[in-house]
Amino acid sequence: MAMTLAEKILAAHSGRERVEPGELLEVSVDFCLGNDITAPIAIKAFREAGVEKVFDPERIALVPDHFVPNKDIASAMQVKMLRDFAREQGISHYFEVGRMGIEHALLPEQGLVLPGDVVIGADSHTCTYGALGAFATGVGSTDLAAAMILGTTWFKVPASVKFVYRGKRKPWVGGKDLILHTIGQIGVDGARYMAMEFTGPVVEDLPMSHRMTMSNMAIEAGAKVGLIAPDQVTHDYVAGRARRPFVFHHSDPEARYEAVYEWDVSQLDPMVALPHLPENVKPVTELPEIPIDQVVIGSCTNGRLDDLREAAAVLKGRKVSDHVRCIVIPATQRIYRQAMDEGLLQIFLEAEAAVSTPTCGPCLGGHMGILAQGERAVATTNRNFVGRMGHPESEVYLSSPAVAAASAVLGRIAHPDEVR
């Protein structure tokens, strides 16, 4: 009867004592979400279904975060659809500009997604909440519409893959480096429709922000979810913010895994994913001199307070290279205020970086940092596909906040130790 963490959550939400990989299940949904790109399609499908009310207005969030503050008339109209629908349906978790944040940083911060939950979102990086021990995954907009109507969705139970990280991390090595290393080892389809389970002493030692970074990029390995078993770190994070009860599930010791990977990461250096795939990973110490034009520090992957602290530690007392644009984007209003209170924004401004209100903006090539033909960016974001941040002939290199900050100072991809 042994089950993995993913299987236990799905069993609990389907009224089953046991589930196995490959089974099709209808499960109850604890929370669902959409943004200004995906929710308008879901709202249209909701109306076409002829339904008058959502299943539970307290279990739905609408977060305009991609093209906000509105970049043009079309984006303004999409956000208006969300705003009007939220008012009509009594959805209190609609987050207007000024209260809004990047959804996958905002919802955990607000205590709306919790351990043991099943969460679906019309955004592929919904898997971020796996860091809390939730079965959280991205779905299409029509699936979101169905869940807003029914309060349920269906899944094929995924097989699980365990990743065990041992050793002692070097300075400047964190969750971003661990997940880039992992994707580099297994490839962008190495965990396709599987539950990645991140374990081991190194993961247990990570703060929640770094855990969220790892779970966030599970989708870049093709995974359905990216899970970390809840522990004291999890409890400390959710206890003061949870809006409802939560449940800790853990894999059984005898649980079956499709594969188990074990790595000693003691010698792992900060990692960089080169264009045009997140699997194209190399240690920063092995890269030739690569000049850059832009740095983006932020996103649902690395826009949390710990990330900004890391970047500020490198930038303090230094200037961004005179041929580089450095854009810093705190992921939520609360993080923005905390960064201001700690003096981090002053460090960024004195370094001659630009600080933005929360937005996904440049990550998806939306606005607030589009690349021109031939330009290169180092970004703490999650994808570096062709044209991801702008022109099809631009390039994006993925890294941690520390590497991004060092690169901004030196005008080329750099190790943080090179500027300290």
Q: Which residues are documented as binding site?
A: 300, 360, 363
Interval 181-207: pLDDT, tens: 999 999 999 999 999 999 999 999 999
**Domain total of the chain:** 2
Q: What is the pLDDT of residues 211-222, one digit of tens each?
A: 999 999 999 999
- Looking at the fold, whether 345 and 319 belong to one and the same domain comes out as yes
Q: Binning pLDDT at 50, 70 and 90, where does residue 364 land?
A: confident
Q: pLDDT band for position 362 (50/70/90)?
A: confident
Q: What is the mean pLDDT of residues 237-254?
A: 95
Residue 420 inside a domain? The answer is no
Same domain, 233 and 286: no
Does residue 152 have a pLDDT over 90? Answer: yes
Compute the half-sphere exposure of residue 300: CA atoms within 13 Å on the CB side of its CA. 31
Domain that holds residue 180: 5-244+254-262
pLDDT band (50, 70, 90) for residue 138? very high
pLDDT in tens, 380-411: 999 898 889 899 999 999 999 999 999 999 99
Residues 148 and 200 grouped into a single domain: yes
pLDDT of amino acid 363 = 82
* Contact in structure between 295 and 404 (CB atoms under 8 Å): yes
Which of 230, 262, 294 is the last residue in one of the domains?
262
Known binding-site residues for [4Fe-4S] cluster equal 300, 360, 363
3-state secondary structure the chain: CCCCHHHHHHHHHHCCCCCCCCCEEEEECCEEEEECCCHHHHHHHHHHCCCCCCCCHHHEEEECCCCCCCCCHHHHHHHHHHHHHHHHHCCCEECCCCCCCCHHHHHHHCCCCCCCCEEEECCHHHHHHHHHCCEEEECCHHHHHHHHHHCEEEEECCEEEEEEEECCCCCCCCHHHHHHHHHHHHCCCCCCCEEEEEECHHHHCCCHHHHHHHHHHHHHHCCCEEECCCCHHHHHHHCCCCCCCCCCCCCCCCCCCCEEEEEECCCCCCEEECCCCCCCEEEHHHCCCCECCEEEECHHHHCCHHHHHHHHHHHCCCCCCCCCEEEECCCCHHHHHHHHHCCHHHHHHHCCCEECCCCCHHHHCCCCCCECCCCEEEECCCCCCCCCCECCCCEEEECCHHHHHHHHHHCECCCHHHHC
Q: Is residue 395 part of a domain?
A: yes
Residue 215 sits in the same domain as residue 350: no
> Does residue 297 form part of some domain?
yes
**Percent of the chain scored above 70 by pLDDT?**
100
The verdict on 258 and 171 lying in the same domain is: yes
Residue finishing a domain among 262, 295, 310 = 262
Q: Is 109 in the same domain as 235?
A: yes
| Residue 108 falls inside a structural domain | yes
Using one digit for the tens of pLDDT, what is the confidence trace for 19-78? 999 999 999 999 999 999 999 999 999 999 999 999 999 999 999 999 989 999 999 999
Packing angle of the helix pair 73-89, 39-48 (nearest 10 deg): 50
Beta strands 325-328; 294-297: pairing state: parallel
Q: Specify whether 295 is located in the same domain as 163.
A: no
Q: Residue 114's domain is classified under what CATH number? A: 3.30.499.10
Q: What is the mean pLDDT of the chain?
A: 96
State whether 236 and 284 are in the same domain.
Answer: no
> Do 291 and 258 share a structural domain?
no
Backbone angles phi, psi at 260, to 5 degrees: -130, 125
Residue 20, in any domain of the structure: yes
List the Cα angle 147/148/152 in 5-degree steps. 30
- Examine the domain organization and report whether 79 and 212 are in the same domain: yes
Whether 57 maps to a domain, the answer reads: yes
Please tell me whether residues 23 and 161 are part of one structural domain. yes
pLDDT tens column, 80-105: 999 999 999 999 999 999 999 999 99
The answer to whether the predicted template modeling score (pTM) of the entire model surpasses 0.75 is yes
Whether residue 267 is contained in a domain is answered as no
Strand order across the 271-273 sheet: 281-283, 271-273, 395-398, 376-379, 294-297, 325-328, 354-355
What proportion of the chain, given as a percentage, has pLDDT over 90? 95
Place of tokens 């003096």: 343
List, for residues 103-114, the tens digit of each pLDDT value. Answer: 999 999 999 999
**Is pLDDT at 247 greater than 90 in this prediction?**
yes
- Among 234, 262, 290, the domain-final residue is 262
Same domain, 216 and 68: yes
Judge whether 390 lies within some domain: yes
